[in-house]
Amino acid sequence: MSTMTAGLAESTLASADFRAFAGGLSEPAGIAEVRAAAWERYVALPWPTKKSEEWRYTDLSKVGFGALTPTLPTSAPEEPLSAEVHAVLARSGDRAGIVVLRDGQVAHLELAPEVARAGVVLCSIRDAAVEHAELLRRTMFDARPGPAEEKLWSLHLALLGGGYFLYVPRGVRMPAPVHAFHIVEREGTISSTHSLVYSETSARAAVIDEFLSDDLGAETVSLHGATVSGEADSAIEYVALQRYGRGVKHFSTQHIVAGRDSRVVTFNVALGGDLSRADVTSRLAGPGSDSEMLALWFGDANQHFDHHTLQHHAAPHARSDLLFKGALTDKASSVFRGLIRVDKGAQLTDAYQTNRNLLLSDGAHASALPNLEIEADDVRCSHGATIGQVEHEQLFYLMTRGLTRRQAERLLVFGFFDEVLGRLPMEGVRVRVREAIEEKIGL
């Protein structure tokens, strides 16, 4: 597997070293140009500090980016599905497609023949840069992250190893989700992957991105970007299920665009890793569009989960509904910072934002910062957040029925999450998420 030269593993990363390395890669010109421009932007930008409102509770100076070894594209032959992937698939229903990315590289990609015959395309980002260059540029390369996201987004594009492109043509309804496994095995590395989902008019699609690793003995960083776009009257479900082992720090930037009368459901689940940060932006670009943003996390030991969201209403008559729930025990911590932004012309907006946090120990800590920014005058918007300890009466009742305190707490956590889980419409996706939560909390 190819890695960067030693010069780029130092804390002072040099553009000359990057250009020398990237110039030796064999990849489409479109990716090479974006990679070089992203690196230049990354070098020019300062790292966000805790003086920034968006990074007040997550200290990036404690992440040793410069000491890690980036992994970049190779032309390794496709590998068969591992026993680990087979085991997950055997328990979680039908899949229309399967993608495996190992240490940032596409290792396996397949699409059900009947779905391919309907015109659905599932390919690597590398192949998409040749065969669907304009769509790739519009949806992924031209994405404009907010100022707080730009440093990591630039690094994500500069170090992009692999990713997949899912295209669903007009009127096609996929019978089952595409399941992508992002597996990290090499400790001490930084890998970057991307998921691009595009649904044409009246099409239907569902995707699961699952992030996996064992516990790793040295600091390891995973960068991930997702761009999900739905044209008029389309419907997309996108699930990001983060189940990394200890030693991994995960940074995800997601850009969602909903066209006229389309519906996009996003569900972020954070269970593993030492540190997990998700920046999720949903842009309601067409009248009648609908965005449902769901998330849950369960943290123990010293885990830290950070979620920043933007519900951007750019068109009138649109609806967004956000429900994020987190449960924490031991000395785990979490941050939720959400913003509903309504543009001046986005009249008749209907937007909701709710964050609820359940603390299972005195050492756990949650911060919740919901916000509104409204420029239209005919809207209905509400937001709220709660942080509370587990109710002792409920614990006592369950323990009188023979459960230990730990068992009772886990059962209450699962009940606390059930409101979010019940809003996932596709059964195959719901089964996998429930299974992952049960494994984490020990039910």
pLDDT tens profile 86-133: 888 888 778 999 999 999 999 999 999 999 999 999 999 999 999 999
Write down the pLDDT at residue 143: 83
Q: Tell me the mean pLDDT in the region 162-183.
A: 96
pLDDT of residue 395: 83
What pLDDT does residue 23 have?
Answer: 63
Query: Which letter, b or e, does each residue of 273-301 get, where b requires 16 or more Cβ atoms within 10 Å of its Cβ?
Result: bbbbbbbbbbbbbbebbbbbbbbbbbbbe
Q: Please give the average per-residue pLDDT across 153-157, as a whole number.
A: 94
Q: Is the dihedral of CA 84, 85, 87, 91 positive or negative?
A: positive
Beta bridge partner(s), residue 101? 106, 182
CB 278 within 8 A of CB 243: no
Q: Is 437 a residue whose pLDDT tops 50?
A: yes
Band (pLDDT 50/70/90 cuts) for residue 226 is: very high
Which two tokens mark 109? Answer: 């990609």
pLDDT tens for 270-283 read 999 999 999 999 99
Residues 6+ positions from 330 with CB-CB distance below 8 Å: 299, 300, 301, 302, 361, 363, 364
Is 260 in contact with 288 (CB distance < 8 Å)?
Answer: yes
Residue 8 has pLDDT above 70, yes or no: no
Distance between CA atoms of residues 365 and 244, nearest Å: 21
Mean pLDDT of 235-254: 96
Enumerate long-range contacts of 13-19, CB under 8 Å, 24 or more apart: 13/43, 13/66, 15/39, 15/40, 15/43, 18/158
Q: What are the residue boundaries of the structural domains of the chain, listed by start?
A: 6-285, 393-443
When the pLDDT of each residue in the chain is averaged and rounded to a whole number, the result is 89
* Distance of alpha carbon 17 from the chain centroid: 30
pLDDT at 390: 82
pLDDT at 11: 38
Q: How confident is the model at residue 413 (pLDDT cuts 50, 70, 90)?
A: confident
Least confident span in 67-76, 97-106, 218-227, 422-431: 67-76
Q: Determine the average pLDDT of the residues in 160-165.
A: 93
Rounded Cα distance between 98 and 29, Å, is 27
The more confidently predicted of residues 252 and 32 is 252
Q: What is the pLDDT of residue 4?
A: 41
pLDDT tens-digit readout, 278-298: 999 999 999 999 999 999 999
More confident residue, 76 or 399: 399
| Region 54-64 average pLDDT | 92
CA distances from 64 to 9, 33, 58, 251, 419 (A): 10, 27, 14, 14, 38
User: Tell me: the pLDDT tens digits for 300-332?
Assistant: 999 999 999 999 999 999 999 999 999 999 999
Instruction: Tell me how far apart the alpha carbons of residues 410 and 339 are, in angstroms, rounded to a whole number.
Output: 31
User: pTM for the complete prediction?
Assistant: 0.92
- Provide the token pair at 137: 């540029």
**Burial level of 129, CB count in 10 A (0-12/13-18/19+)?**
buried
Q: Above 70 in pLDDT, residue 76? A: no
**pLDDT score of 6 more than 50:** no
Contact 207, 168 (CB under 8 A): no
Q: What residues contact 51, with CB distance under 8 A and at least 6 apart?
A: none
Can you give the pLDDT at residue 15? 58
Look at residue 353 and tell me whether its pLDDT is greater than 90.
yes
